[in-house]
Amino acid sequence: MAVLVTGCAGFIASHIAEQLLAEGHDVIGIDNFDPYYSEELKKQNLKELEKHKSFRFLNGSILDKELLKTVKDIEIVNHQAAIAGVRNSIENPTKYCEINVLGTVNLLEQFRDAEKFIFASSSSVYGEVNEIDLPCKESSQPKPIAPYGLSKLHAEQFCEMFTKVYGLKTATLRYFTVYGPRQRPDEAMCRFITSIFKGEPIQVYADGEQTRDFSFVKDVVQANMLAINRGQGIFNIGSGNRISVNNLVNLISSLMDKKVKIKYPGKQEGDVSHTLADITKAKKILGYEPKYSIEQGLKNHIEWIRTRV
């Protein structure tokens, strides 16, 4: 099949494009190397994809309608491109609206005759959830507390609208804290592991007792591959388990067999206390089944960073 992967040089999208190519699909990737984090890291990811004859790259933005018009005969759109970062979105909400919402609408308009449109959303749409209301179900009321989550929610709604109005089959995957090789260097997991390798103190926001449902990137790739042929609507993609940040740091320290120093600089605006996915729907409809425990995923992530520190 001919698949368009947006944000193809990024963390998750590069893994998805790699798997699509491995399974014999033709892939067109688009990326504009947004300077939110190192362009060099993205170029390394792209270099691996360009080894495949079935891969073609377009350097540009999903905001560029003329560029999108040059992409023909696409069967599947896998839309991963976005500007990420909850805290950064608080400082620049307009940019998040432009890229995450308008960029998604541009793609939906241009490729509304595609066989399937897969959209990468986020658990950030749920916002602050009381412990009693966990795990989050797809039917839970979205209450985003930062522009990033709100931009993802609005993009989801446009996907739903294009299904109703134009008959475009869409699958929205709400990711819960994805980690693994190629992760953005500013993400907590990357920062923790890198700091431990360097013998530097780790910064843990709030008191460290906040919990997260961490999803290993290969499990997220699995969900995207399944969504090509199965299911429409919204699906939570997580592990279905959670761990406190303090316990996560202790686990990383144990796996690396290194002592760790922790600093607690205080709570960050836009951070939620707890996340936990109910993945019943994804299991039933997509056939999604997380294969990596937090220990297995961390070992992979640690080894990847070890070669780069």
Residues in CB range of 160: below 8 A, 6 or more apart: 170, 172, 233
Measure the CA–CA gap between 205 and 207, rounded to whole angstroms: 6
Which residue of the set 37, 96, 126, 148 is catalytic?
148
For residue 148, indicate whether it is catalytic: yes
CA distance 121 to 96: 13
Q: Which two tokens stand for residue 204?
A: 């843990």
Q: What is the DSSP string of the chain?
A: -EEEEETTTSHHHHHHHHHHHHTT-EEEEEE---TTS-HHHHHHHHHHHTTSTTEEEEES-TT-HHHHHT--S-SEEEE------HHHHHH-HHHHIIIIIIHHHHHHHHTTTSSEEEEEEEGGGG-S--GGGPSBPTTSPP---SHHHHHHHHHHHHHHHHHHHH---EEEEEE-SEESTT--TTSHHHHHHHHHHHTPPEEEETTS--EE--EEHHHHHHHHHHHHHS--EEEEES-S--EEHHHHHHHHHHHHT----EEEEEPPTT--SB--B--HHIIIII-------HHHHHHHHHHHHHTT-
Active site residues: 148
